[in-house]
Amino acid sequence: MPFKIPTVDDIAQPALAARLKHLLDNKTKPLGSLGALESVALRIGLILGSESPVLREPHLVVFAGDHGLAERGVSAYPSEVTWQMVENSLVGGAAVSVLARHNGIALTLVDCGVCHDFADRPGLRHHKIAYGTSDSSTGPAMSAGQCDAALANGAAVLRSLTGNAFLLGEMGIGNTSAASLLLARLAGLAIADCTGAGTGLNGEGVQRKIGILQATLTRHSEARTPLQALAAFGGFEIATMVGAVLQAAAERRVIVVDGFIASAAVLVASALQPAVLQRCVFAHRSGERGHALMLLHLRADPILDMGLRLGEGSGAALAWPLLVSACAVLREMANFESAGVSRQNGTAPAQKA
């Protein structure tokens, strides 16, 4: 059954935006002196429809899947690293596990299509479509039916979560290739500009990767719509993320976007429903080559720029305390009048009764 794309309404609210801007401008500080933190506070206020936004029960979901294209040598690591890293995360040893734990963020791993059978345990969801996608260099990575199933799984995962903040993460050897292909096709860019070292290819390896991806793009020249491209270039984890992002946007949750792969899911989701981008806070600019172009295409301003390229949702978890701080400033910081502080032009504060 075809996946029914949720309706994502435009939440532009000029009156609320003006009130939020007024509140921020009148806090006891020089105008604009909190920089990007003010922009983050305004965006979260708009998403949650509140002048006193509170982020509740944050949940970071790591979507994992394997890629048939990885067998062509587009990654510096073998495919079995995907399931090994899922296991590492489940026992608390991955970077994202540490960062989520220390920032009070609930963490869930979702098996979207890993080439491994996982035992049941807390923190793991089973939504395996198949044991990895097909090799997109020889045919579609997934069928239209598999793509629909992955989208539906993502929406179902999101609906099961409490709270109003959803942080995106992923794992999957070969998934930078899928993200590069999606960016090149949907943004109309050269694949060489969209392709980087991924997990650590050397210069020769990157050039070989570009050649494989260029041939893959050519093979799927007819895959032009967002869902056609998603099915052709694959990533069960990316498709599942797309479904989750669409559902989160429809429910007006704050969507905290990690790096290159997570942004690729947002790229597809926003091509289907443009208002998705109104609900997104982009955590960081990745060190992966194509991410700067992805952010430019999405007109996104990331919070951090630390050269991260790990994935897993690590950048989203790192940025999370800044989102919490932005909301606290909006709610709790005094204004000039209430604090009895003079303004920049020397205007005296109003006298308290």
What's residue 345's pLDDT?
66
Residue 140 sits in the same domain as residue 234 = yes
List the Cα angle 203/175/219 in 5-degree steps. 85
6 φ, ψ (degrees, to nearest 5): -60, 150
pLDDT greater than 50 at residue 185 = yes
What tokens appear for 3 in the block?
């996946």
What's residue 103's pLDDT?
97
Q: Determine, yes or no, domain membership for 47.
A: yes
What tokens appear for 244 in the block?
């989750």
Domain that holds residue 195: 59-321
Q: Which residue in the list 38, 251, 312, 337 is annotated as catalytic?
A: 312
pLDDT greater than 60 at residue 348 = no
Residue 165 sits in the same domain as residue 241 = yes
What's residue 353's pLDDT?
43
Residue 233 sits in the same domain as residue 108 = yes
Residue 19 sits in the same domain as residue 124 = no
Residue 311 sits in the same domain as residue 333 = no
Distance CA 151, CA 246 (A): 9
pLDDT greater than 80 at residue 87 = yes
Q: Determine, yes or no, domain membership for 203.
A: yes
pLDDT digits 0-9 by tens, 227-264:
999 999 999 999 999 999 999 999 999 999 999 999 99
CB 169 within 8 A of CB 258: yes
Q: How confident is the model at residue 351 (pLDDT cuts 50, 70, 90)?
A: very low
Residue 86 sits in the same domain as residue 177 = yes
Task: Establish whether 312 is a catalytic residue.
Answer: yes
What's residue 347's pLDDT?
55
Q: Which of 135, 138, 147 is nearest to 219 (CA)?
A: 138
Q: Determine, yes or no, domain membership for 187.
A: yes
Q: Determine, yes or no, domain membership for 345.
A: no
pLDDT digits 0-9 by tens, 125-184:
999 999 999 999 999 999 999 999 999 999 999 999 999 999 999 999 999 999 999 999
User: The CATH number of the domain where 24 resides is what?
Assistant: 1.10.1610.10
Q: Determine, yes or no, domain membership for 353.
A: no
pLDDT greater than 80 at residue 303 = yes
What's residue 139's pLDDT?
97
Residue 43 sits in the same domain as residue 68 = no
What's residue 328's pLDDT?
98
Q: Determine, yes or no, domain membership for 9.
A: no
Residue 150 sits in the same domain as residue 281 = yes
What's residue 135's pLDDT?
97
Q: Which of 299, 270, 304, 301 is nearest to 287 (CA)?
A: 304
Q: How many domains does the chain have?
A: 2
What's residue 340's pLDDT?
77
CB 159 within 8 A of CB 250: no
CB 255 within 8 A of CB 232: no
CB 29 within 8 A of CB 38: no
What's residue 352's pLDDT?
46
Does pTM top 0.85 for this prediction? yes
